[in-house]
């Protein structure tokens, strides 16, 4: 590709990138007002939404990033939130979970799932010990070394863990 063609492509996309940037800034501004003083890191709209929606649903309070969980509820649940958008390959796989055992581990794992248009689809809430004892955490091995763990939601078998499901008649 030539420098001229690259400049043309960049110019063609520029107004859309401006719109994305403006929309992300507006979303962040709104979510910051619900973040309990926590700094929303990076450009992770899905992650931000997952944490804010999760703590709102559970009437919780966000906690600092140096903890293994994302929010705490009034009855003491320490909840780690994993959020995904859409139905592309591995949509049901969480991001990295650094540790699965220890006193400072979460008491619950929340899986927040959004449709492709960011509409909230389902929220699952799993007791951490249930997942641990059932062997649901899987090892993420890289070059023969344990890097972290992950969890796979099973939409057909995990219905008992649903704490929110968007009604079918809502679009």
Q: What is the pLDDT of residues 15-24, one digit of tens each?
A: 898 898 899 8
Cα(163)–Cα(54) distance, integer angstroms: 10
Q: What is the mean pLDDT of residues 73-84?
A: 96
Is the confidence at residue 171, as pLDDT, over 60? no
Distance CA 16, CA 12 (A): 8
pLDDT at 56: 95
What's the confidence (pLDDT) of residue 2? 65
The pTM assigned to this predicted structure is 0.85
Question: Which H helix or E strand runs over 120?
Answer: strand 120-127
pLDDT higher than 90, residue 136: yes
Enumerate the β-bridge partners of residue 61.
72
Which pLDDT score, from 0 to 100, does residue 14 have? 86
CB 116 within 8 A of CB 103: no
Alpha helices, DSSP H only, in 33-64?
45-57
Q: Which of 34, 75, 66 is nearest to 53 (CA)?
A: 34
* pLDDT of 50 strictly over 90: yes
- Other CB atoms closer than 10 Å to residue 72's CB: what's the count? 19
Q: Are the C-beta atoms of residues 83 and 112 closer than 8 Å to each other?
A: yes
State phi, psi for 21 to the nearest 5 degrees.
-60, -45
pLDDT, average across residues 21-31? 90
* Backbone conformation region of residue 76, classed left if phi is above 0, alpha if psi is from -120 to 50, else beta: left
The CB density around residue 38, as the number of other CB atoms within 10 Å, is 19
Checking if the pLDDT of 164 tops 80, the result is yes
Strand partners, 141: 146
């Amino acid at each position: 590709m030539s420098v001229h063609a690259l400049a043309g492509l960049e110019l063609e996309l520029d107004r859309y990138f401006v719109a994305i940037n403006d929309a992300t800034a507006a979303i962040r501004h709104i979510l910051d007002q619900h973040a309990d003083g926590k700094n929303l890191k990076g450009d992770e709209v899905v992650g931000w939404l997952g944490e804010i929606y999760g703590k709102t649903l559970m009437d919780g309070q966000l906690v600092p990033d140096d903890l293994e969980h994302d929010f705490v509820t009034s009855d003491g649940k320490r909840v780690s939130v994993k959020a995904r958008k859409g139905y592309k390959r591995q949509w049901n796989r969480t991001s990295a979970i650094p540790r699965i055992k220890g006193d400072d581990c979460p008491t619950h794992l929340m899986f927040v799932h959004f449709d492709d248009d960011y509409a909230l689809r389902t929220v699952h809430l799993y007791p951490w010990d249930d997942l641990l004892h059932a062997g649901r955490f899987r090892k993420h091995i890289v070059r023969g070394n344990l890097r972290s763990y992950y969890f796979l939601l099973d939409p057909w078998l995990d219905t008992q863990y649903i704490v929110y499901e968007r009604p079918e008649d809502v679009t």
